[in-house]
Chains A and B, each alone.
Chain A
């Protein structure tokens, strides 16, 4: 029997997802023996034309990381979709938009103006152009797109391997499922079915009832490693985030920022954490926080969008609105 064909591809990403695959070390060599890698631009010298030659659905699975930012990326993932039986979104950017998704709060024109005109080290106001001339030579660079999209806003996605970057055990779990043909229902996120709070090492320290009078930012207080961040008034995205990361930020005594995406049955990670926090605020035994108190506390958060949607803005309800507006503009 021939080995199953596997493809890896990257879109707008940092290279961390590729590092994560390389960090499988010996396990990677074992996996590599069992599969036939037909496309992996960062590592192997196969071309797009090689993929085009393959018959439809002949790639067993394509792992695609990075958010979708350019037309080229869109074309490439459409091609991979056609040639693959399954597609897995790999890493936070493909899954929920990731950190570059924060760019969706800014218009493209502002981006170019600020970077090439406003920053103080710029020596003039030259801005790069898609088409330009230098010494009479015509030169071309791709245009920057308006918005960042997740993979499943671009093509049909079967599975998700979450995390920024995905940890080794989650990657292996996903790979093994494909190799053994033991596939869960479509749409499965290869991680825990619990929220991070449920698996957090500080879980037992989480009080049943919270009484947060004041919110603190991580640099403002010395966190007690034995205490739940939220109980200290430090915002942690644990209640709204899927578990499976190995509680790695918590182990470094830092609060969760949500790279695994919304916890199961939660659609909008930011809305969920907002409601979770609101419900925790200022509730003493008898006393219920007034609306005024809640809004005062929420106002004390300097950047709620960036904090609550640090990784998931493109995948959120807010992102949907922006995207729909864009589609309307284009139609």
Chain B
């Protein structure tokens, strides 16, 4: 087989690399998604004072620092066995809802929607936020930027800074709000609800009215029957800040529901020598390889998984959108990977509605922001739903609160096995008899962009392109094609 090399460019460090090997007939034999970076937070956090962790761990990711900040703060609550005050708990959830709306908006408009709004077959040069703006109008583009700016200002107000907020302490938060600020947040929340509804309408008009797109979403290339995981409240509704971890099987039946302190009984991590990323799976089912179905321990996390693992949304409009989505997708659970985009918008609406609920509550201006720890620290586990899935921080300390064990189950890891499977499946469908279509890069990318992965927590490519290298080898291990962006 002749060696074909397209645009031999450098690898983009810290990002995804996909290696595809063909058999002697030119069909896909194996595909591997490799994560080439490791920074070692679990190691260099050792010996640190635990209370510094909400300031250290956000540096794992500058795009979702608020998720790490919150998971870490909650792990400290548990470490000192101290509940936050009622006001502090609500403030934390306000920060978190603002974060979920702005982060989901970032993904939908800047990363995900170019595939749909501009179109999967459009030239790469226009598949970015500028292409989206061209399609939906400059006014909409400005609205997205303005909305994110205002939501991020809420995080800045409490956290001091939006990139790496600092306000979380065991038992509370360092800063409260007055009535003026409460009203300001309430106003932002109202606009955020309109914005989320508008985004759902745009999705309906542009994506759902296009038969080709609907076929793509519900087709087999992007489908995997897996288990699903997400945090739920006492009514089994989706919750981002707190609750129990619920797992449903591929038929949608509850498989497990547990407190995060028991996560070690339910989650184990498989490793491969060829990637720094780990592949979590359901311990009670076991690791059966990169395969789906009820007998494989592979589960999925993040928007569609959370909706699948729940009995709906806790707010009015989001719940209606939840029902409508599953009706269109042909029932619950839905296994269509591309529907993650849609579920993300439903969640955006929920977070906006919840933000309004919380900020309409006048009691949140109370100055009762901290409960002081009194117990000797020993072990703490904290969980939140990060935009990209269930995120767990697990700490152990000596009696001075100095860390001697740190384990971080980062959200993107939760989908690592499924992402590998999605890529393999897309490649198998798109490469036949050694014929490698130029469309493959984008189609494969779509398979994993739906998960909004944050590889090495640094691969966020803001205007809509995932830095990615894809290598294809023939059966004699010759590189026949290299696609990069």
Contacts of A265 in B (CB 8 A): none
Contacts of B458 in A (CB 8 A): 10, 13-15
**Interface size on A (CB < 8 Å)?**
83
* Chief secondary structure at chain A's binding surface: loop
Of A12, A44, A123, the contact of B14 (CB 8 Å cutoff): A12
Complex Cα spacing A122 to B12, Å: 28
Provided the pairs A115-B38, A119-B407 are in contact, do residues A23 and B152 lie with their beta carbons within 8 angstroms?
Answer: yes
* Residue B326 lies at the interface, judged by CB distance under 8 Å to chain A: no
**What sequence of 0s and 1s flags, for each residue 16-43 of chain B, a beta carbon within 8 Å of any chain A beta carbon?**
0001010000000110101111111011
Contacts of A85 in B (CB 8 A): none
Contacts of B269 in A (CB 8 A): 119, 121-123
User: Which of B46-54, B222-230, B339-347 contacts its partner?
Assistant: B46-54
**What sequence of 0s and 1s flags, for each residue 1-27 of chain A, a beta carbon within 8 Å of any chain B beta carbon?**
000000000111111111110110110
Of residues 363 through 422 on chain B, the ones whose CB sits less than 8 Å from some CB of chain A are 370, 372-373, 400-402, 407, 409
Q: Is the CB of B40 within 8 A of A111?
A: yes
A250 closest partner in B (C-beta): B160
* Residue B245 lies at the interface, judged by CB distance under 8 Å to chain A: no
Of residues 169 through 218 on chain B, the ones whose CB sits less than 8 Å from some CB of chain A are 169-171, 174-175
| B interface, size bucket | 35 or more
Contacts of B400 in A (CB 8 A): 302
Q: Is the CB of B48 within 8 A of A306?
A: yes
Of A72, A121, A251, the contact of B409 (CB 8 Å cutoff): A121
Complex Cα spacing A307 to B171, Å: 22
* Residue B84 lies at the interface, judged by CB distance under 8 Å to chain A: no
Contacts of B74 in A (CB 8 A): none
Q: Is the CB of A306 within 8 A of B49?
A: yes
CB of A15 to closest CB in B, whole Å: 4
Of residues 443 through 469 on chain B, the ones whose CB sits less than 8 Å from some CB of chain A are 457-463, 465, 467
CB of A93 to closest CB in B, whole Å: 9
Complex Cα spacing A138 to B21, Å: 10
Contacts of A154 in B (CB 8 A): none
Of A47, A111, A115, A138, the contact of B484 (CB 8 Å cutoff): A47
Of A45, A129, A144, A250, the contact of B124 (CB 8 Å cutoff): A45
Provided the pairs A12-B39, A139-B19, A254-B174 are in contact, do residues A116 and B271 lie with their beta carbons within 8 angstroms?
Answer: yes
Complex Cα spacing A307 to B401, Å: 14
CB of A120 to closest CB in B, whole Å: 6
Complex Cα spacing A14 to B69, Å: 14
Contacts of A120 in B (CB 8 A): 264, 407
Q: Is the CB of B462 within 8 A of A42?
A: yes
Of B13, B174, B280, the contact of A73 (CB 8 Å cutoff): B13
15 sampled A-B residue pairs with Cβ under 8 A? A15-B61, A16-B63, A16-B65, A42-B462, A69-B39, A103-B43, A106-B40, A106-B46, A111-B40, A127-B273, A134-B32, A135-B29, A219-B170, A221-B372, A306-B48
Interface residues of B (CB under 8 A from A): 7-14, 19, 21, 29-30, 32, 34-40, 42-49, 51-52, 55-56, 59-63, 65, 76, 80, 124-125, 145, 149, 152, 156, 158-167, 169-171, 174-175, 264, 267-276, 278, 280, 287, 370, 372-373, 400-402, 407, 409, 457-463, 465, 467, 473, 477, 484-485
Task: Apart from A15-B62, A128-B276, list 15 A-B contacts with CB within 8 A.
Answer: A14-B458, A22-B462, A72-B13, A115-B42, A128-B38, A128-B273, A129-B273, A129-B274, A132-B273, A137-B30, A165-B164, A219-B76, A222-B370, A302-B400, A302-B402
